[in-house]
Each structure stands twice: as structure tokens, then as C-alpha cells.
Chains A and B, each alone.
Chain A
């Protein structure tokens, strides 16, 4: 029976191709947006996870604010903590440095987001003060030149990221040229090797578009009002990371008078927090996209209702030759199902195409997982059933005589 319904459904849909297409359009757009948003979110998560992993498992990050709050069984992210001004100080950096298990310590002090070169002023750079062992701490490689060698280095040196070299100087190796930051000139001492990814994350700044200057210089520029975004710490090889986290927490807490206005994160926690933020964000956008899916479903229902009243006579004939109400209902349900499943499949294909384009033209790498495709098709199937139920029931309930009389 189903194959018969399927055949008659496709015949009916093929007869009015444009209408079929426009009916499906709602579902196509809905499924496309949901699948694309989720794939982009997944891709972002993958890339950031990659960045965090690149940072190394032996790195412990100290961030200002109480980021994590224990809530029942799980750990929740406190997003408001991201908005508060930094509570970390250079004193904290010194305290952490004294810890037994710590190998390297480097603060990341945010200074400004604009710098200028001969080519003009650039507002999309991340200018930060760091310690001399920054590159060692985060396992970052230097492509040209070298990093600052001494923490007390008072020389006006800067080390720049790969993208900064290209954008601000138009060459890969601008060593010896100067960059102006808040009115002070710095000479380029080194260029970092391109780092993976290229997106700003919670974990770290995008090193490709960063300019690093010595922390001492940063303090001078900001007149002591340093804004420490994070303190990166590398634990000695073989040391117990949990113990190190405890030590660091204790040391910083001592400085802060026992207040918990900072967070010490291990890599796995960082991963957890990052993916939590991204999941929230993706979930939110997906919810918006899902609304279009519902609207698409309602579109199918409307057209199906029109179709039922247009085909009143057909329903009458079918009933006269012995179709039961259930068989009529099944026929229209099948039609709605074919519409929405076909729309869903086209939506997935369009989304794959969009993801391909995104991959080709940006450095974003969307990840289309099997489950999201399965969910998309599943949603299409259930929407097909839900939204063609009313028209199908209406068709099945038509009185055969009135239906036969109708044109």
C-alpha cells in the first residue's frame, strides 16, 4: 500500500513542480540553516580545541574573575566573569614564578588594539606585553629573528605574528622596521611562525595578528595600569599538574586576601569551558534557525490544505471505489512526508555546498557530522507527519457524496 501511496504522491507532486518546489522551500531553508549553523559551530569547536591542544597539556592558565561556579553535579561557566576588569597583578606573576613545580611563567597584558606602521594605522591587532619565555611556555615557534631574551629587557623591541607582518609591512620578514604603539616606536625583533587556526578564542589570543612587547615596556606604556588577561604557566616535566594547580591557586589566593576572584584552569577544563560557550552560542543560533523550520512546516500544511480542497472530487472518487478513511489519510500523509523529506535532503545538500564554499573562501572549517544529518532528516520526517496530519485527517473525513459533487 505504501509503495502505491508513494507513487501517487510523487505523481501528484511532479504534476505541479513549481508549487512543490515552493512548498518545500521553507523546509529547505530551515534544514539548510540548522545544518549549516551546527556545522560551523562544530568546525569552530574543532579549531579552538586544536589551538588549545597546540598550547600543550603542561600549560596551566590563570584568568581573572571567578569563571567556574559549581552548580549541583556539574561545573557551570559564569559568563559575567568575562566582563569584569582584570584582578590579576604583576605580584601574582611573581608569586607563581616562585612555585616549585612551575617551569615558565608569562603574563599576557593587553595594551591596545591599534598600532601603526609606514603603511598606516591598523586597528585590528592585539598588542600585548609578555615575558621573555612566552614562546617556550606556549610551544610557539619563531620563524624569523628571535624573541626578547631577558625579562628586564628595556629595549623597545616587538615580536609580531605572521598576519601582522603581511598586513602592516607587506612582507614576511620585516625585521628591523619599526611599529608605533601608543606613540612609542618599537623595532621588530622577530616574526612568529603561523599558528594554527586563526580565530580569537577564550583560550588565547590569535597569535597570528598579535604584537608582543616586553612586559616591562607594557607597564611603562600603561603607566602601571596593566590589564593582565591571563597568566600562562608551564609545569615542570613529570610534575603533578593537579598539585601545581593547587600550589598556584594557594599562592594567588594569598595575594588576593583569600578572595576567589580568579580562576586556575588546566587544559581539559579550558576545553570544557570553551566548548560550553560555543555550545551555548550554537544552540542559540540553532534555535533561531529552527523557527524557520517550523514556519516551513506550516507552509507545507497550508499547501496541503489547499491541495485537499482542490482534490475534493478525487477524494470522492477514491472513496466511491472503496478507499477507507485510513487509506485516504495515508495517501495525504505520504504526500506530506515526501515533500518534507525531499526538502530535508535538498536542505542537507545545499548546506553541504555552503559549507564547502565557506571552507574554500575563509579559514573556517565547518564539520558536518553524521548525527546532524540524521537529525535533519529525522526532523523532516517528523515535521512531514505532524504538519500533514491535519490536512490528511480533513481529507479522510470528507463525506463521499459531497466530495463527488465537488469540482
Chain B
């Protein structure tokens, strides 16, 4: 049984004229221990997908099972508890609380579990040791470099020993050196048997992943297993073609990446039409 099981999951935002279909009947199954990289252009639904998997949002339609448990129709309090115990978030902008020092930030999820301050501090300290931030325990987030802040954020995500770690462009705000440090850390965490979902724009980072999915227009348009240490096949195409963005591409408002999304050829006229038909149906349903 897969750890994450999405069955025809759709997500509609907005009402009436302003309705957007962010996820379009997405089916995805992730096994325990996978390192899944999610790629795709902006607005393709990557973050929405992560939010649904991370129980920050609920699907408009479809089912989501998290470790044999139906998670799409949970009450907010149950969602919050699952989030606390089973999911660790790492964000692009670290999202450490500026008023708390590193130790307090890392131990915050434990506080929400009701653990005593002493035990909390001990565990957070151990976790900071793991990410190599032990000597920064009492620093405030504003005193940290980007890489350090992200490592602290990773420590916070790991503190409750979650079954899934969701990282939404964790290196998007880091220089190449810090990116490498952070990605090596993820790699190490993965080796210890953790499941990681990584959203990224950087094809280079697919080297760390065991599987890469490509998203476009709310759908998963490509899915490939890839040996760790090697850049994914399609990602490599994107990577090497990246430089070839022409002015006309920009003028047309099309990102160069789009051109190389695998399966885009398939989403030609017929499939697109089908999609819009389905979209209409979904919007109708959600209006009810």
C-alpha cells in the first residue's frame, strides 16, 4: 500500500467567471521512502498539489489517502494533528518565526504536541546537531544566513519524525553553495528512509530524486523513475535547452520550459478539448 494515494483529485479556486481549475483529476501514488521531485512551470498546480498532500488544503473532488487513512474529509483539528505528527514542511522563504530563537523555532511543533519545555529543548538541540546548527541554537532567525535558516527550518520539519517531508522550492532563495548543503541534507534524510516531496524549478536537483513528475496546467503530464545521482532524462532536456529562450518566446509569453515538458505533444487539440469539457463539468459540480 502506497503512503500517499491520490485518486482523481481536483481543486477549483474562485467562483463564477474567476474560476480556476488548479488540479485536474490528478492521480498519484507515492511509496514510502521515495524522493519525489515535482517540476513544472509556475501556475501548473505544483504548490496546490503539495498543499493538498500536506493537509493545508482539501480537494474539491476526489480522494486522498495518507497511510491507509482517508485524509480528504477530515475535520480541521484532525488535519492539524496529522500535519503536526506526519508531515514536515520546508518552505522557500524558511518561514521561521522572527520572534523566536532557533531552538524555540525548531521545538515549536513539539510544543503543539504538549511536550514539556525541557524535553522539547533537548530534542530540538539533538535535531540541530543533526543539521549542523548546534552552535546557532540561540541565534535569532535574522542573524542567520539563508542556508543556515533553511537548515533550521529542515530541523523543525524533522522534529516530529514525520512520514512525509514536503519541501516547496527549498533552494529557490539560496546560492549554489547553500543549495548544495541543503540538498545534501535532504539526501541524507532520504537515505535514512524518509519520504521526501520536493518542488523545484531547477532540473539539476533531480539528481537527488528517485522519481520525477512533471506538471502542466493542473495535470501530471510526465512521470519517470530516475537513478539517484543522475539528472532525470526530461529534466536534462530542459536543463540544456534552458539557455535557448528567445525574445520571441518571451514575447509570446511562453516560458522556454514549457516547450520541453514531456507529453505536451500529447496534450494537443484532442486532449485539451477533453480537458476543457471536464473542466466545465467540474465547475458546474462545484457550484452545486
Residues of chain A having any CB pair with chain B under 8 Å: 1, 3-4, 8, 11-12, 15, 313-314, 316-327, 400-401, 404
Task: Pick the most buried of B51, B89, B97: most chain A CB atoms within 10 A of its CB.
Answer: B97
Contact between chains at A401 and B109 (CB < 8 Å): no
Q: Please, which residues of chain B bring their CB within 8 A of the CB of A404?
A: 56, 91, 95
Chain A residue at minimum C-beta to C-beta distance from B120 = A4
Known: A3-B117, A11-B100, A12-B99. A318 touches B108 (CB 8 A): yes
A263 and B29 CA atoms in complex are apart in Å by: 95
* Residue pair A324, B109 in contact (C-beta under 8 Å): no
Does B57 make an interface contact (CB < 8 A)?
yes
Tell me whether B83 is interfacial, beta carbon within 8 Å.
yes
B77: interface (CB < 8 Å)? yes
Known: A316-B95, A320-B83, A400-B57. 7 other contacts (CB 8 A): A8-B99, A319-B56, A321-B83, A322-B109, A323-B112, A324-B81, A327-B112
B160 on the A face (CB < 8 A): yes
Contact check, B95 vs A317: say whether CB atoms are below 8 A apart.
yes
Q: Tell me how far the C-beta of A392 lies from the nearest C-beta in chain B, rounded to whole angstroms.
A: 16
**Are the CB atoms of B76 and A325 closer together than 8 Å?**
yes
- In the complex formed, the residue of B with least CB distance to A320 is B89
A321 touches B84 (CB 8 A): yes
User: How many whole Å from A396's CB to the nearest CB in chain B?
Assistant: 9
Q: Is the CB of B109 within 8 A of A321?
A: yes
Q: How far is the CB of B109 from chain A (nearest CB, A)?
A: 5
Contact A322 B84 (CB under 8 A): yes
CA distance A1 to B83 in the complex (A): 18
Interfacial residues of chain B within 49-96, with CB under 8 A of chain A in the complex = 51, 54, 56-57, 76-77, 80-81, 83-85, 89, 91, 95
Q: Is the CB of A320 within 8 A of B85?
A: no
Cβ contacts A to B, 27 pairs, < 8 Å: A1-B111, A1-B114, A4-B117, A8-B100, A11-B99, A12-B99, A15-B99, A313-B95, A314-B97, A318-B97, A320-B83, A320-B95, A321-B84, A321-B89, A321-B156, A322-B81, A322-B113, A323-B84, A324-B80, A325-B76, A327-B112, A400-B56, A400-B57, A401-B51, A404-B56, A404-B91, A404-B95
Contacts A8-B99, A314-B97, A404-B56: A322 and B85 contacting too (C-beta < 8 A)? yes
Q: How far is the CB of A28 from chain B (nearest CB, A)?
A: 25
Query: Which chain A positions have C-beta within 8 A of B56?
Result: 319-320, 400-401, 404
> Measured between C-beta atoms, what is the minimum distance from A394 to chain B in Å?
15
> Is the CB–CB distance between B77 and A324 below 8 Å?
yes
- How far apart are the CA atoms of A400 and B89 in the complex, in Å? 13
**Could you tell me the distance between the alpha carbons of A327 and B109 in the complex, rounded to whole angstroms?**
12
Query: In whole angstroms, what is the CA distance A394 to B282 when docked?
Result: 31
Tell me whether A322 and B95 are in contact in the complex, defined as CB-CB below 8 angstroms, given that A1-B111, A4-B111, A4-B117 are known contacts. no
Contact (A324, B95) CB under 8 Å given A4-B117, A401-B57? no
Shortest distance from the beta carbon of A53 to any chain B beta carbon, whole Å: 57
- Contact status B100-A323, CB under 8 Å: no
Q: With A1-B114, A327-B112, A404-B95 in contact, do A322 and B80 touch (Cβ < 8 Å)?
A: yes
A321 to B95, CA, bound (A): 10
Contacting residues, chain B, for A318 (C-beta < 8 A): 97, 108, 112
Chain A residues, Cβ within 8 Å of B113: 322
Q: How far is the CA of A327 from the CA of B57 in the complex (A)?
A: 19
Residues in B whose Cβ lies below 8 Å from that of A1: 111, 114
Q: Which of B129-165 contact A (CB under 8 A)?
A: 156-157, 160
A144 to chain B, nearest CB (A): 73
Q: Which residues of B contact A12 (CB under 8 A)?
A: 99
Q: How far is the CB of B90 from chain A (nearest CB, A)?
A: 10
Shortest distance from the beta carbon of A406 to any chain B beta carbon, whole Å: 12
**B52 → chain A, closest Cβ, in Å?**
10
Q: Taking the nearest CB of chain A, how far is it from the CB of B225, in angstroms?
A: 30
Shortest C-beta distance, B152 to chain A (Å), equals: 13
A305 to B52, CA, bound (A): 29
Q: Measured between alpha carbons, how far is A183 from B156 in the docked complex, in Å? A: 94
**Distance between Cα atoms of A1 and B110 in the complex (Å):** 10
Residue of A nearest to B95 (CB): A317
By beta carbon, the residue of chain A nearest B166 is A320
Task: Kindly state the separation between the CA atoms of A1 and B54 in the bound complex, as whole angstroms.
Answer: 25
Q: CA–CA, A325 to B79, complex, Å?
A: 11
Give Cα distance in the complex from A11 to B100, angstroms: 8
**Residues from chain B with Cβ under 8 Å of A317 in the complex:** 95, 97
Q: How far is the CB of A83 from chain B (nearest CB, A)?
A: 63
CB-CB nearest in chain A for B168: A404
Residues of A within 8 A of B77 (CB): 324-326
Q: Which residues of B contact A327 (CB under 8 A)?
A: 112
Q: Are B80 and A323 in contact (CB under 8 A)?
A: yes
Chain B residue with the shortest CB-CB distance to A327: B112
Q: How far is the CB of A64 from chain B (nearest CB, A)?
A: 70
Among B153-186, those with CB < 8 Å from A are: 156-157, 160
Closest chain A CB from B96 CB (angstroms): 8
In the assembled complex, how far is the CB of residue A192 from the closest CB belonging to chain B, in whole angstroms? 68
Minimum CB–CB distance from B113 to chain A (whole Å) comes to: 8
Smallest Cβ distance from B88 to chain A, in angstroms?
Answer: 8
Q: Among B83, B100, B160, find the residue whose CB has the most chain A CB atoms closer than 10 A.
A: B83
Q: Which residues of A contact B117 (CB under 8 A)?
A: 3-4
Q: Tell me, rounded to whole Å, the shortest Cβ–Cβ distance linking A401 to chain B.
A: 5
Report chain A residues within 8 Å CB of B156.
Answer: 321
Which of chain B's residues have a CB closer than 8 A to the CB of A3? 117
Q: Which residues of A contact B100 (CB under 8 A)?
A: 8, 11
